[in-house]
Amino acid sequence: MSRKKKTKPTEATTQHPPHQPEPNTRLGVLITPRTGEEVGHPDSQDSFATLTTLSIPLETFANQPWVPCPVTRALGLPLKATRWPSSSARVPNNLALGLFLNPDPDAETFGTIRFRRMDGTVVVAREGEGEEVGEREVEIVLGYLSGLAAGVTGFVRGEREKVEVEEDDGRKVEVQAGRARRARELAERALTPRAFREYVKGRVVKKV
C-alpha cells in the first residue's frame, strides 16, 4: 500500500512519525522524478519529484543493492538508497543525486557527488533495524541538500581553480592545506546534526 505526495525541492515541514510497516516488511520512500512537462503543469506546484511511501517485504528489502548516504548520516538521519523499477527509468533524478554528496572534509572528494548521473526512481530507507523513515523526513532532507548544492558546488570548483593556477609545487601544497581548513569550516557550518536541526526549526517557524 502506498501514498503519493508531491514535494518541492526546498520545502520542509514539521516532522511526523512514519507509518508503521506492515508485518514482515520495512518502509521505504520512493523518490520518483517528474518530467519537464509534469513540472511545467499548472498543478505541479513547481515540484521536481513525487514521494511515495512503500512497504517492502523483508526478503526483497534484504536483497537490494543498497548504497549508504553518508551526507544524511552526517546530518543525523542515516539513510541508504537504491534504484527501484518504475516507468520513469529514463527521467533524470537530479533531486536524489544530493543524497550521495561526500560530507567528509578530510577527503579529496569532499563536496562531490558519488554518481555523475542518476535516472529513474530511487528508494530510500533507514539504515539499521528498528527505525523507519517517513516522507516528511525525506522531503526535509532533500530540501536541505538542494539548498546547499550551489554553495558546495561553488566551493569545490573554486578550490580546484586555486590549485590549478599555482605553478609552484610548494604553493600548491599550501593552497591544498588551506582548502582542507576551509572544507572543515564548511562542514562544521552546514553538514552537522545541529545545522540540520536549525534548518528544520526555521522552516517550521515559517510554516506557522
pLDDT digit string, tens, across residues 16-73: 455 666 778 999 999 999 875 555 444 443 467 899 999 999 999 999 999 999 999 9
Is beta strand 49-57 parallel, antiparallel or unpaired with respect to 25-33? antiparallel
How many CB atoms are closer than 10 A to CB 144?
A: 23
**What is the per-residue pLDDT for 47?**
65
Single out the residue of 126, 93, 72 nearest to residue 7, CA to CA: 93
| 110-117 average pLDDT score | 90
Q: What is the average pLDDT score of the chain?
A: 82
pLDDT of residue 57: 96
Total number of domains in the chain? 1
Q: Are 191 and 76 in contact (CB under 8 A)?
A: no
Distances (CA, A) of 187 to 35, 129, 191, 195: 33, 28, 5, 10
179 within some domain: no
Q: Which residue has the cell 509534469?
A: 38
Whether 29 is in a domain gets the answer yes
Per the domain annotation, does 107 fall within a domain?
Answer: yes
Which structural domain, as residue segments, surrounds residue 78? 3-145
Find the mean pLDDT for residues 67-83.
Answer: 96
164 found inside a domain: no
3-state secondary structure 48-64: CEEEEEEEEEHHHHHCC
Q: Which three cell numbers stand for residue 66?
A: 543498497
Q: What does the alpha-carbon distance between residue 37 and residue 117 come to, in Å, rounded to a whole number?
A: 20
- Domain assignment of residue 170, yes or no: no
The predicted model scores a pTM of: 0.78
Q: Would 159 be classed as within a structural domain?
A: no
Is the Cβ–Cβ distance between 53 and 2 less than 8 Å?
Answer: yes
In a domain, 187, yes or no: no
User: How much is the pLDDT for 45?
Assistant: 38
Residue 193 inside a domain? The answer is: no
